[in-house]
Amino acid sequence: MPLITLDQAKTQIRVPIDSTEYDDDLTLKLEHATAIVVDYLDRNEDDWIAGSPQASPADQEFPIVQAAILEVLTNLWRNRGDEAAPGPMTSRVEQMLRGLRVPALG
């Protein structure tokens, strides 16, 4: 089960739910956004899927992770590399995720 559904992604970027015109591109960007957030957290996607052996306090963390993925998705959707723009992992996303990130050991 994905952390964000295609319908949730469509709602976020304001594409009509019944439209299939952008499904392939949106699905790809949704996969990228999820990978960016999970990589930033240095955790496994299964950490937020209920019933997974790795599931952590999913009830508290899951909405934060979803919000971050949707924000990164929006950044990927809007900024397609054709103009100077911040990367998809903005300081706003980092602030959302700061408390969930696995600390780096140096």
Contacts of 88 (CB under 8 A, 6+ apart): 32, 33, 36, 72, 75, 76, 79
Which pLDDT does position 72 carry in this prediction? 96
Dihedral angle of Cα 20, 6, 16, 88, to the nearest 10 degrees: -110
The 10s digit of each residue's pLDDT in 2-11 is 789 999 999 9
Which pLDDT does position 45 carry in this prediction? 72
Which pLDDT does position 68 carry in this prediction? 96
**pLDDT for residue 28 is more than 80:** yes
DSSP single-letter state for residue 15: -
Q: What single letter denotes the amino acid at residue 93?
A: V
The 10s digit of each residue's pLDDT in 40-50 is 998 777 766 65
The 10s digit of each residue's pLDDT in 71-97 is 999 999 988 766 666 788 899 999 999
| Percent with pLDDT over 90 in the chain | 56
Show the DSSP H helices in 14-90 as ranges: 23-41, 58-78
pTM score, two decimals?
0.82
Structure tokens, 82: 């054709």
CA pair distance 94, 57, nearest whole angstrom: 19
CB-based contact 69:35 (threshold 8 Å): no
**pLDDT for residue 105 is more than 80:** no
The domain spans of the chain are 6-100
